[in-house]
Amino acid sequence: MGLFVDTTGSSVTIDELGITLSHPTTNYDIAGQFTSEEVKGATSLTNYITAGTLVWKKTNGGAAQTPGDYDPDFVDIENENLGTGKFTERAVTFKDVKAGTVAFGSFSGTPKIYAVVFTEAYPDANYVVSFTSLADGRVWTVESLTAAGFTINSNANAALTGTVHWQTSRKTQ
């Protein structure tokens, strides 16, 4: 599995990668030719894919993917346990990780809580959450975990004095 592209009607130059794909080009193996850091930095590649000038696929000769589903933060390939004794390759992207900060004044109620709502929901609630607050020693807990977000509970009534950092990560098994 990787990142393969086809031209759709004209030649395409991707300056950041130093390549020109002459039309017609099919199944050009971007991930096999460039590092994940190079792919992440290739904004013209992302622009061509999201505009439909390049069609992207996960496998050589595979099905065309939706331009809006392309993630320029393509990272790596790992194995995912399907639970049947079989494994499959899975492209890990930054869509699998979400992170943010909450200003201390944003927490309200008794105890102090804050509802995090993702700008783009996960497909399900199969993710983990972690917190960091350098200013406030609390026993943080998660409530109301859904695909669209979660609630941070500070488990204390006293006002917070510092920023709270949170991060989520999709479970892969």
- Going along the chain from its start, the domains and CATH numbers come out as 4-64+74-92 (no CATH), 95-170 (2.60.40.2080)
Sign, CA dihedral 35-37-42-48, equals positive
The position carrying tokens 């929901």 is 121
Name residue 29's beta-bridge partners.
Answer: 4
Average of pLDDT values for 19-37? 86
pLDDT for 55-107, tens place per residue?
A: 998 888 888 888 877 876 654 444 444 555 555 545 445 467 888 889 999 99
Helix (H) / strand (E) element for 150: namely strand 149-153
pTM of the full predicted structure? Answer: 0.48
